[in-house]
């Protein structure tokens, strides 16, 4: 608590900016998301320990703990994204959201349904759907919150007329896709292929299309305000990024389809279109590199946001695009499917590219109107370093464990138990990496909480 207080007091208020109520609410979305992220590290550490110390006493069986962990992995970025989209759409359009009241209700509903999903899973009430375990009615509830967001955002865009910007449109379209892709997951399918396909619309298309659009909109808005890139240049990239994300995202889902029972043509479509996903990421890296050479950031707040965005870009290229491409190759996937390599890719891609960018947005929003002190800045840099080092150790250990599994178990046909003994040291290494990651997670939460406390006392732009 003392540390949190010192991080909070250390931030200094700066120049006032215009005040919009939607931007004020977006803070509570971001703070809640950061809290759920901190909770996730604790749940995850227990799960990782359970894999290396069998029969570890736990009130929740491993499969339900895993389901809660996966639920957290989807839900805190979702809640943060809702807040980020309200914040940056308002900032881009320079006007209040259509209904701030609806935005506030949406938050409470989203929180209630999210906590109900975790609560029921902790009570062992679920339906066994990986990534979307839990009562379908609760997911319908989440859809209702997304529907509120979509309505609120579309009404705002309509009211803005010619002032609408590409970043605002891209983020809104991302929210529309989040809703449309989750909706089919609220009903029961007796056909297992239909059930798996709709699951991948969330596991794959949420991440590689819908969140890609909301994150690209945020990065564009951040680059423009911080002077890393000029609006015309960013907007050109944004159009291309958005078109690629939608086209490549939709068809590259095919790399999952063949393995769940779709015709073989999907294997070719999925693999070839997956190649295209690398292009917009490469362009973003190029633009960032050019911008960083030209612009020198002086604000520590912007520098920290940039560190988080750069971390995300790194994993976007490595853990998501390159590793994703490797495991997409049909002859590789045949052996590596469902091994720890997938888990390595899932952590590097989901937290690496999406988690970091969402945390960048949350930090930027929560610290608005203040600058970190050198102590607060150092603490935040340590947190980012711990998260990165922890993630790289975790990801590498999982990739080695998964490669051994693929070779010894799938290729040579050794028994599952023999292979488990061989990979155990790498799972212990994952626990060590996870511990560093969890430390970074808790420290970053402290930084975000400190920023929130400090700026709570000086709401930006309020007369
Ligand atoms: C302290 C850090 C973490 C640890 C120790 C950890 C540990 C685990 C464990 C034990 C599992 C289940 C078994 C396995 O697949 O290995 C798992 C699965 C998973 N975790 Fe984490 N996790 C951490 C952080 C995160 C974060 C921050 C995210 C994303 C926001 C995440 C996303 C996932 C996903 C998507 C899976 C499923 C992987 C698959 O499909 O095989 N994890 N994690
Ligand atoms: C932000 C980007 C990405 C995220 C967040 C992400 C996340 C995930 C997650 C969570 C899984 C585990 C699914 C499961 O266990 O059923 C997965 C699997 C997979 N991903 Fe990605 N991914 C991303 C990008 C990519 C890209 C760009 C490619 C290909 C170029 C790709 C190819 C694959 C493949 C082939 C699998 C299935 C692995 C298996 O068969 O076990 N991913 N991804």
Which pLDDT tens digit goes with each residue over 209-251? 999 999 999 999 999 988 888 899 889 889 888 998 999 999 9
Q: Say what the pLDDT of residue 283 is.
A: 84
**pLDDT, tens digit (0-9, with 9 covering 90-100), for 385-395:** 999 999 999 99
**pLDDT, tens digit (0-9, with 9 covering 90-100), for 351-384:** 999 999 999 999 999 999 889 999 999 999 999 9
Residue nearest to atom 42 of ligand 2 (CA): 324
Indicate if the pLDDT at residue 269 is higher than 50: yes
Q: Output phi, psi for 296, to 5 deg.
A: -110, 120
Distance from C-alpha of 77 to C-alpha of 30, rounded to nearest angstrom:
9
Q: Say what the pLDDT of residue 60 is.
A: 87
Cα(86) to ligand 2 centroid in Å equals: 28
Ligand 1 close to Cβ of residue 69 (< 6 A): yes
Ligand 2 pocket (Cβ < 6 Å) reads 203, 207-208, 255, 274, 277, 320-321, 324-325, 327-328, 333, 337-338, 342, 345-346, 349-350, 353-354
236 or 399, which is more confident: 399
Distance from C-alpha of 304 to C-alpha of 359, rounded to nearest angstrom:
11
Cα(306) to ligand 2 centroid in Å equals: 25
CB-based burial label for 414 (10 Å; 0-12, 13-18, 19+): middle
Residue nearest to atom 14 of ligand 1 (CA): 343
Contacts of 137 (CB under 8 A, 6+ apart): 186
Indicate if the pLDDT at residue 5 is higher than 70: no
Q: Mean pLDDT across the stretch 140-162?
A: 97
- Using alpha carbons, select from 390, 402, 403 the residue that is nearest to residue 430: 390
- Using alpha carbons, select from 365, 385, 393, 402 the residue that is nearest to residue 443: 385
Query: Residue 422 corresponds to which tokens in the numbers above?
Result: 């061989």
Best substitution site from 34, 42, 43, 44 to test ligand 1's pocket, by max atoms within 8 Å of Cβ?
44
Cα(343) to ligand 2 centroid in Å equals: 9
Cα(227) to ligand 2 centroid in Å equals: 33
Q: Mean pLDDT across the stretch 301-330?
A: 95
Residue nearest to atom 28 of ligand 2 (CA): 324
The percent of residues in the chain predicted with pLDDT above 70, rounded, is 95
Give the mean pLDDT of the chain. Answer: 92
Cα(40) to ligand 1 centroid in Å equals: 9
Q: Which ligand lies nearest the alpha carbon of 358? A: 1
Give the H or E element holding residue 37.
Answer: helix 21-52
Do residues 124 and 203 make contact, with C-beta atoms less than 8 angstroms apart? Answer: no
Q: Say what the pLDDT of residue 6 is.
A: 53
> 354-379: string of b/e by CB count within 10 Å (b at 16+)?
bbbbbbbbbbbbbbbbbbbbeebbeb
- Using alpha carbons, select from 342, 343, 349, 341 the residue that is nearest to residue 314: 349
Distance from C-alpha of 275 to C-alpha of 106, rounded to nearest angstrom:
37
Ligand 1 close to Cβ of residue 41 (< 6 A): yes
Q: Which residues pair with 12 in a beta bridge?
A: 371
Cα(346) to ligand 2 centroid in Å equals: 6
Distance from C-alpha of 345 to C-alpha of 348, rounded to nearest angstrom:
5
Distance from C-alpha of 109 to C-alpha of 103, rounded to nearest angstrom:
10
Residue 339 CA: nearest ligand 2 atom is: 41
Query: Residue 438 corresponds to which tokens in the numbers above?
Result: 């969890």
Residue nearest to atom 15 of ligand 1 (CA): 343
Best substitution site from 196, 276, 345 to test ligand 2's pocket, by max atoms within 8 Å of Cβ?
345
Q: How many helices (H) and strands (E) does the chain have?
A: 19, 2
Angle 279-280-286 from CA coordinates, rounded to 5°: 95
Residue 441 CA: nearest ligand 1 atom is: 1
Distance from C-alpha of 443 to C-alpha of 65, rounded to nearest angstrom:
23
Ligand 1 close to Cβ of residue 343 (< 6 A): yes
Q: Mean pLDDT across the stretch 388-407?
A: 98
Lowest mean pLDDT among 59-73, 269-283, 415-429: 269-283
For 44, 265, 266, 282, 328, the CA distances from 269, given in Å and listed in that order, are 35, 6, 5, 21, 11
Predicted confidence band of residue 124 (pLDDT cuts 50, 70, 90): very high
Contacts of 241 (CB under 8 A, 6+ apart): 212, 216, 280, 283, 284
Indicate if the pLDDT at residue 278 is higher than 80: yes
Q: Say what the pLDDT of residue 10 is.
A: 46
Q: Say what the pLDDT of residue 9 is.
A: 43
Ligand 1 close to Cβ of residue 51 (< 6 A): yes
Ligand 1 close to Cβ of residue 48 (< 6 A): yes
Q: Say what the pLDDT of residue 100 is.
A: 94
Do residues 304 and 381 make contact, with C-beta atoms less than 8 angstroms apart? Answer: yes
Q: Output phi, psi for 371, to 5 deg.
A: -125, 135
Distance from C-alpha of 353 to C-alpha of 108, rounded to nearest angstrom:
27
Q: Mean pLDDT across the stretch 397-417?
A: 97
Distance from C-alpha of 247 to C-alpha of 252, rounded to nearest angstrom:
8
Q: Say what the pLDDT of residue 280 is.
A: 81
Give 17's Cβ-side CA count (13 Å radius). Answer: 18
Tokens 């890609």 locate to 212
Cα dihedral 130, 134, 139, 142 in deg (nearest 10): -100
Q: Which residues pair with 370 in a beta bridge?
A: 13
Lowest mean pLDDT among 9-23, 51-65, 405-419: 9-23
Cα(69) to ligand 1 centroid in Å equals: 7
Indicate if the pLDDT at residue 2 is higher than 80: no
Predicted confidence band of residue 317 (pLDDT cuts 50, 70, 90): very high
Q: Say what the pLDDT of residue 7 is.
A: 52
CATH of 1-17+308-463, one of 1.10.10.10, 3.40.50.300, 1.20.210.10, 3.40.50.720: 1.20.210.10
Ligand 1 close to Cβ of residue 435 (< 6 A): no
Indicate if the pLDDT at residue 463 is higher than 50: no
Q: Mean pLDDT across the stretch 304-315?
A: 96
Indicate if the pLDDT at residue 433 is higher than 60: yes
Distance from C-alpha of 29 to C-alpha of 8, rounded to nearest angstrom:
19
Q: Say what the pLDDT of residue 17 is.
A: 61
Q: Output phi, psi for 94, to 5 deg.
A: 55, 40
Cα(199) to ligand 2 centroid in Å equals: 13
For 130, 241, 248, 276, 446, the CA distances from 209, given in Å and listed in that order, are 20, 10, 8, 13, 31
282 or 141, which is more confident: 141
Indicate if the pLDDT at residue 8 is higher than 80: no
Query: Residue 398 corresponds to which tokens in the numbers above?
Result: 């999982």
Ligand 1 close to Cβ of residue 210 (< 6 A): no
**pLDDT, tens digit (0-9, with 9 covering 90-100), for 318-337:** 999 999 999 999 999 999 99
């Amino acid at each position: 608590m003392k540390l949190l207080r010192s991080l909070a007091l250390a931030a200094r208020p700066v120049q006032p900016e215009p005040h919009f109520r939607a931007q004020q609410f977006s803070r509570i979305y971001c703070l809640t998301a950061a809290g759920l992220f901190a909770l996730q590290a604790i749940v995850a550490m227990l799960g990782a320990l359970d894999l290396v110390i069998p029969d570890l006493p736990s009130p929740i069986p491993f499969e339900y703990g895993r389901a809660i962990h996966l639920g957290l992995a989807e839900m805190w970025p979702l809640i943060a994204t809702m807040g980020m989209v309200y914040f940056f759409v308002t900032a881009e359009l320079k006007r209040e959201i259509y209904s701030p009241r609806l935005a506030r209700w949406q938050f409470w509903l989203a929180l209630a349904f999210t906590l109900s999903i975790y609560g029921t899973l902790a009570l062992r009430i679920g339906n066994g759907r990986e990534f979307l375990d839990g009562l379908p009615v609760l997911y319908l509830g989440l859809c209702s919150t997304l529907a509120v967001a979509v309505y609120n955002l579309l009404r705002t865009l309509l009211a803005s007329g010619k002032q609408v910007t590409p970043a605002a449109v891209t983020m809104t379209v991302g929210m529309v896709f989040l809703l449309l892709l989750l909706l089919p997951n609220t009903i029961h399918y007796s056909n297992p292929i239909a059930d798996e396909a709709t699951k991948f619309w969330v596991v794959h298309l949420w991440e590689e299309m819908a969140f890609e659009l909301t994150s690209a909109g945020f990065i564009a808005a951040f680059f423009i305000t911080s002077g890393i890139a000029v609006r015309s240049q960013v907007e050109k990239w944004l159009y291309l990024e958005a078109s690629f994300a939608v086209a490549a995202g939709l068809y590259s889902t095919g790399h999952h389809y063949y393995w769940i029972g779709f015709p073989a043509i999907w294997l070719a479509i999925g693999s070839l279109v997956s190649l295209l996903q690398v292009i917009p990421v490469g362009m973003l890296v190029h633009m960032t590199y050019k911008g960083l050479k030209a612009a020198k950031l002086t604000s520590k707040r912007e520098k920290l946001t940039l560190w988080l965005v750069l971390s995300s870009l790194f994993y976007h290229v490595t853990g998501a695009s390159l590793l994703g491409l490797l495991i997409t190759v049909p002859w590789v996937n045949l052996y590596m499917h469902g091994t720890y390599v997938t888990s390595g890719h899932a952590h590097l891609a989901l937290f690496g590219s999406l988690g970091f960018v969402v945390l960048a947005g949350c930090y930027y929003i929560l610290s608005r109107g203040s600058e970190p002190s050198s102590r607060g800045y150092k603490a935040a840099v340590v947190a980012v370093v711990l998260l990165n080092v922890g993630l790289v150790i975790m990801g590498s250990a999982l990739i080695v464990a998964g490669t051994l599994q693929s070779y010894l178990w799938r290729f040579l046909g050794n028994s599952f138990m023999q292979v488990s003994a061989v990979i155990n040291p790498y799972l212990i290494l994952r626990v060590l990496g996870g511990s560093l990651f969890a430390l970074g997670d808790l420290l970053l939460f402290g930084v975000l909480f400190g920023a929130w406390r400090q700026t709570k006392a000086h709401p930006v732009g309020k007369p």
